[in-house]
Amino acid sequence: MMIFRANPTAIRPPLRAIAPAIFMVAIGIGSGHGLRNYYLHIDTGSSLTWTQCLPCSTCFPQSAPMFDPQLSPTYRVVGCDDPSCKPPHYKCVNNRCEYHIEYYDASIDGVLSRETFTFQDAHSSHSVDVQSLVFGCTHSSRMNYHGNPAGIFGMSQNPTSTVKQLAALTHGLFSYCLFPLSATRASFLRFGHDIKPPRGGFRSTKILEYNDREGFYYLDVEDLSVNGRRMHFARRTFARRSDGTGGFIVDSGTAVTQLTAHALDRVEHVMKDYFRLRLNLLPVNDSSLRLRLCYKMVQGIQHQLPTMTLHFRNGANYDLRRSALFMNYAEKRTFCLAMMPSERISILRAKQ
């Protein structure tokens, strides 16, 4: 991997929101006549950065031209002897490294490749070129992005994620601040010494590291509070188990926070009591809504919604904003708790 034209710690590509839970980073892929600029969905739960490539048998429509490997002189297919071509994510087929990746409700197939990536620098007037980054050239995609983004920007702790490949240049550090759709300020993905700590007093908590194949970012969550009331969950509720299941991760690519079924049942029970006793509201049943706990809108409800706090083992607390804890369905005049049950793991979604 080689870098040109700028201090690597000054990499600062812009971020853009196109939906309440989809945040994209602007990058360039390829060189020469093959260079294309894309917005990719930032995903701390994904091990691979990928975009759709020609020829593409089953692909979603995208606004930017699809990447054509034949037009870029720096494009290379990853061979079977490349250190990146390791199971279970990748496999050798006809002397090239291929992948099949499944997501919550979609999947992709393609060829592991290497290419030059172009990032905007901290001053927005120059660019940073990084050669020979591993990425995925996807030739079959069952996704539903419909225009933008043009793929995923993988940010997990897996060695093939882009942030891990940049670690030697950025000291393994990155940060992002996700602004709402209505924000007028620009937001950026920052790396290395370009990261600015928050102003004023704040508490931090460690990311737990496990040698798991997904490279998730685990949080040491001890308990939850609803409207200031501690739930007193057992320690094992959010702990990662020896078989690799369980735990509590942060995932910028997940649209809705997920709790294990037992934990979500208890949270919903407390929420129902709050809405019934404080606001005289009862849940509504609407099979067209994906979420489980929903209520009809009433005037001024946004200022009376309950709060939720994550309590970490080191004493730090994280207050979830009401606007992110609940989702509004304006056309139905309904709002819902933005949480779903999970069989295996608890997930803190983007923008909470």
Task: Report domain extents, the chain.
Answer: 2-194, 207-348
Helix (H) or strand (E) holding 277: helix 261-279
Sheet holding 308-312, edge to edge: 229-230, 221-226, 308-312, 317-320
CB < 8 Å & 24+ apart, contacts of 316-319? 316/203, 316/204, 316/205, 317/203, 318/205
Cβ atoms of 115 and 38 within 8 Å: the answer is: no
CA 11, CA 192: separation in Å to the nearest integer?
8
Same topology, domains 2-194 and 207-348? Answer is yes
| DSSP per-residue letters across 307-348 | -EEEEETTS-EEEEPHHHHEEEEGGGTEEEESEEEESS-EEE
Give the pair of three-digit tokens for residue 60: 């979603």
Query: What pLDDT was estimated at residue 5?
Result: 40
Cβ atoms of 313 and 285 within 8 Å: the answer is: no
Q: Which CATH number fits domain 2-194: 2.40.10.10, 2.40.70.10, 1.10.275.10, 1.20.59.10?
A: 2.40.70.10
Q: Are strands 308-312 and 294-296 parallel, antiparallel or unpaired?
A: unpaired
Cβ atoms of 246 and 220 within 8 Å: the answer is: no
Q: What is the dihedral of CA 287, 292, 296, 300, to 10 degrees?
A: -150
Residue 40 phi, psi dihedral angles, 5° rounding: -120, 145
Task: For 207-348, give the CATH class.
Answer: mainly beta
Taking only the tens of pLDDT, the chain with its 352 residues reads: 443 344 544 788 988 888 767 889 999 999 999 999 999 999 999 999 999 999 998 999 999 999 999 999 999 999 999 999 998 889 999 999 999 999 877 899 999 999 999 998 766 667 889 999 999 999 999 988 876 899 999 999 999 999 999 998 888 889 988 877 777 777 889 888 888 877 777 788 999 988 788 899 999 999 999 999 999 999 899 999 988 889 999 999 888 899 999 999 999 999 999 999 999 999 998 888 889 999 999 998 988 999 999 999 989 999 998 888 999 998 899 999 999 999 889 999 876 5
259-274: b or e for each residue (b if 16 or more CB lie within 10 Å)?
Answer: bbeebbebbbebbbeb
| DSSP per-residue letters across 148-199 | S--EEEE-SSSTTSHHHHTHHHHTT-EEE----TT--S-EEEEEGGG--PPS
| pTM higher than the cut 0.95 | no
